[in-house]
Amino acid sequence: MNKLGGAIYEIHHMDEMAEKDQWLNRIHPLVKLILTVCYIAVTVSFPKYNMEGLLCMGVYPIALFILGEIPFRDSLRRLRIVLPLVCFVGLFNPFFERQPVLALGGITVTTGMVSMLTLMIKGIYSVFASYLFIASTSIEKICYAMRLLHIPSVLVTQVLLTYRYISVLLGEANRMMQAYSLRAPNQKGVHFKVWGSLAGQLLLRSMDRAAEVYESMTLRGYCGEFCYAAGTPCRWKDYLYLGGWCAVFLFVRGRSIFW
């Protein structure tokens, strides 16, 4: 499978994961959305030297990986581009904050090192929380939850259609690359002379396909407002799940403030 084919496969695989009939997937999307936002807000609110509190916050992603039966190794592979970027954010802290905190063996740990680690952990946790939300909730349900929060329809539809058109674009690009490689068997990659025409073709084809998809939508009554399946209302299990996790977040965060 080539790179583009792999990317399409990954998108479809994520869709499949989100559609699985599983305990975590059955939690109301609004509850999961609120929890994800709360978790990220609480995580980033920790002081930059509070390593202990942050480590305790790790319980949420760990629990979700287990409850949702989401493979951790696959997740790391999917996030291999994002995670290093997130870690890069705090990389310069050790150079600016050099006050020693403790000595581990022969190495002096400075405040800069601690703040770098906490920044990295905050970033990693936030990425994991978002990933776990997406992996356990289909895009339609995410958009439905956003509408329940009264996020404007235009924005929500943008999110939904952008997600749908990504696979359309990748599909077109994949077909073009396959056609190219079959007629240029000895070439590695695409020759620079045809970059322009390939990119232009891709744009035109994608526009055509997107126009056809849009026509198909309008022919079936679409007029700017996506009608989502009215999901089941929040049940007591959903409230319990939300309340339970909020209590954990408040306890961990409150502990670092009051004790």
Partner 1 sequence: MYAGRASRQEKNLRKELEIMSHIHIAFNHVNFSYEKSAPILQDITFTAHEHDSIGLIGANGVGKSTLLKLLVGLNLNYEGSIRIEEIPVAKETLPKIREKIGYVFQDSDSQLFMPRVFDDVAFAPRNYGLPEEEVKKRVEKALAMTKIGHLKDKQIYKMSGGEKKLASIATILAMTPDIILMDEPSIALDPRNRRNLIHILNGFGHLKIIASHDLDLVLDTCSRVILMHEGRIIQDGGAKEILSDKELLESHGLELPFCMQGQSG
User: Can you give the binding site for partner 1, defined by CB under 8 A?
Assistant: 12, 15-16, 19, 138-140, 164, 167, 171, 209, 212-213, 215-223, 227-230
Residue 165 CB burial class (10 angstroms; 0-12, 13-18, ≥19): middle
Q: For partner 1, which is the closer residue by CB, 187 or 216?
A: 216
Contact predicate 142/29, CB 8 Å: yes
Q: For partner 1, which is the closer residue by CB, 84 or 224?
A: 224
Q: For partner 1, which is the closer residue by CB, 45 or 167?
A: 167
Q: Tell me how far, at minimum, the Cβ of 254 lies from partner 1, in Å.
A: 41
Stated as kind and residue range, the H or E segment containing 104 is strand 100-104
Which residue in this structure is represented by tokens 């999917």?
Answer: 78
41 CB-side CA count, 13 A: 8
Q: Tell me how far, at minimum, the Cβ of 153 lies from partner 1, in Å.
A: 13
Q: For partner 1, which is the closer residue by CB, 63 or 209?
A: 209
Q: Tell me how far, at minimum, the Cβ of 138 lies from partner 1, in Å.
A: 7
DSSP annotation of 233 reads: P
Q: Which amino acid is at 221?
A: G
Report the C-alpha gap between 104 and 254 in whole angstroms.
29
Closest CA to 14 of 2, 3, 23, 6: 6
Q: For partner 1, which is the closer residue by CB, 182 or 219?
A: 219
Q: For partner 1, which is the closer residue by CB, 10 or 97?
A: 10
Q: Tell me how far, at minimum, the Cβ of 220 lies from partner 1, in Å.
A: 4
Q: Tell me how far, at minimum, the Cβ of 221 lies from partner 1, in Å.
A: 3
**Exposure b/e, 21-59, CB count within 10 A at least 16 = b:** eeebbebbbbbbbbbbebbbebbeebebebeebbebbee
Q: Tell me how far, at minimum, the Cβ of 164 lies from partner 1, in Å.
A: 6
Report the C-alpha gap between 80 and 38 in whole angstroms.
25
